[in-house]
Structure 1
Amino acid sequence: MTASSTNDHSNKWRIVDIVVASIIAVASGVIFWGWDIVCAAPLTVLEAVTPGFEGLVNGFWLFGGPLAAIIVRKPGAALYAETLAAFLELTLGNQWGVGGSLIVGICQGLFAELAFLIFRYAKWNLGTTVLSGMLAGVGCALYYWLTNPAWGAIRVLWYLGTSIVSGAIIAGLIVWAVCRALAATGVLDRFESGRAEARV
């Protein structure tokens, strides 16, 4: 049986699902805030390569939703975690304000959620996790495109492409690896994600 074969899957949220999704969101929000502090240098360097290339670092703001979703495996988990993480990031204070923290976080969460919704919350595997990260990158890029009307087509395309790549790697591949590593320790035994790992 594989991780996507889920006879025991239920879309009903439990208290433990809410608690763990919230813990993931809080931890993600703190990491987002920390990345806000140190991101100026890599953003500047990548933007100097070509405008829009700075999207390569966006994955560090995209992983909260996919991580919560692939662990708790409940509808709305990606949106909930990414939104709560963004709210905490905003509350801690940064240079982006409401738009660049909370609103973009909601966009990222909505798009990350789409990957699992497309498969009717029945596929919880590497492919859907990577797709979730990629779509979170799309949500991020769309927000910044719409809020920066002066951007030219080339910059928009570069930003979209690099955001998708960053999302696929950091919020997709790495998130999947983290989930499997956690499951292997037994800490996710109360979740389908942990039981699926044990059956692989």
Structure 2
Amino acid sequence: MENWKLKEIVVMSVLSVVFAVVYLAFLPVGKLLAGLFGPIGYDVIFGIWFIVSVIAAYIIRKKGAAFLSETIAATVEMLLGNAMGPILILTGIIQGLGAEAAFAVTRYKSYNLAVLMLAGVGAAVFSFIWGYFRSGYAVFGTGYLVSMLIVRMISGALLSGLLGKAIGDALAKTGVLTGFALGKEQRRKKTA
């Protein structure tokens, strides 16, 4: 971890723990939607399971923030009782890598809405590929698979990217992020 400050590690960890609880809370919602609409129902809200990677990267703006926060959240979610067990950690790693890829493409220099939404889409694509092999998506027809992927990508863009930015901006407005990259950016915008 390149030049990470203790406060950045603490904030990333706290966000990861908070969102591990959020992730668990959304499992029944996903099950309900899957019960109503089939497997694609989960994809409608799948983006919520990537959101900490976007928020942590948006606030901290350092290499590895998206990957580490998602991995920590998955680990905590498993420890809190997610029935998937230890394989959930690998799932978090894969989702975190998908989000991290978007920031790496910009060389960690751009954290605008488009990049945040791209991070959500990246996590969606990586998670979908993992799900294809792990969850047996091969049984579905091509049209259904493409629909699942598109819905998951939209969910990643909106629920991770757009909502993640909104949460980060709301936190910055409270003043609690003044010592972080996002807080400093917000201050510069106010004085410009």
Settle same-fold status: TM greater than 0.5.
yes
Q: Which residue of 2 aligns with 1:122?
A: 109
Where relative contact order (Cα < 8 A, 6+ residues apart) is larger, the structure is: 1
Native 8 Å contact 2:31 2:42 kept in 1: no
Pair 157,98 (structure 1): closer, same or farther in 2 beyond 3 Å: farther
* Equivalent residue for 1:44, pick from 19, 35, 50: 35
Quote the offset at 1:67 in angstroms.
0.8
* Equivalent residue for 2:151, pick from 162, 165, 168: 162
User: The residue matched to 1:156 in structure 2 has which SS?
Assistant: helix
How far, CA to CA, are the matches of 1:156 and 1:105 in structure 2?
22
Quote the offset at 1:126 in angstroms.
1.1
Aligned length: 186
Q: Which residue of 1 aligns with 2:42?
A: 54
Native 8 Å contact 1:28 1:85 kept in 2: yes
Give the structure-2-normalised TM-score. 0.91
Could you tell me which runs of 5 or more consecutive residues in structure 2 were left unpaired when the two chains were aligned. none
In the alignment, structure 1 residue 18 sits paired with structure 2 residue 5: no
How far, CA to CA, are the matches of 1:124 and 1:38 in structure 2?
30
How far, CA to CA, are the matches of 1:70 and 1:87 in structure 2?
21
Amino acid paired to 2:58: I
How far, CA to CA, are the matches of 2:71 and 2:17 in structure 1?
10
Pair 37,94 (structure 1): closer, same or farther in 2 beyond 3 Å: farther
In the alignment, structure 1 residue 188 sits paired with structure 2 residue 177: yes
Q: Which residue of 2 aligns with 1:5?
A: none
Native 8 Å contact 2:33 2:41 kept in 1: no
Q: Which residue of 2 aligns with 1:8?
A: none
Deviation digits for residues 62-110 of structure 1, max 9, x if unmatched?
10111111011110000000011011111111233333x2222111100
How far, CA to CA, are the matches of 1:52 and 1:39 in structure 2?
10
Native 8 Å contact 1:130 1:173 kept in 2: yes
Q: Which residue of 2 aligns with 1:113?
A: 100
How far, CA to CA, are the matches of 2:77 and 2:141 in structure 1?
29
Q: Which structure: greater helix fraction?
A: 2
1:92-111, aligned counterparts within 5 Å?
Answer: 92-99=80-87, 101-111=88-98
How far, CA to CA, are the matches of 1:54 and 1:32 in structure 2?
13
Native 8 Å contact 1:145 1:156 kept in 2: no
How far, CA to CA, are the matches of 1:38 and 1:112 in structure 2?
23
Identity percentage over the alignment?
Answer: 34
1:111-150, aligned counterparts within 5 Å?
Answer: 111-147=98-134, 148=136, 149-150=138-139
How far, CA to CA, are the matches of 1:132 and 1:199 in structure 2?
24
Give the structure-1-normalised TM-score. 0.87
Native 8 Å contact 1:54 1:162 kept in 2: no
Q: CA RMSD in A?
A: 1.5
Quote the offset at 1:59 in angstroms.
1.2
How far, CA to CA, are the matches of 1:53 and 1:142 in structure 2?
17
Quote the offset at 1:53 in angstroms.
4.7
Native 8 Å contact 2:117 2:161 kept in 1: yes
Native 8 Å contact 1:65 1:77 kept in 2: yes
Native 8 Å contact 2:75 2:89 kept in 1: yes
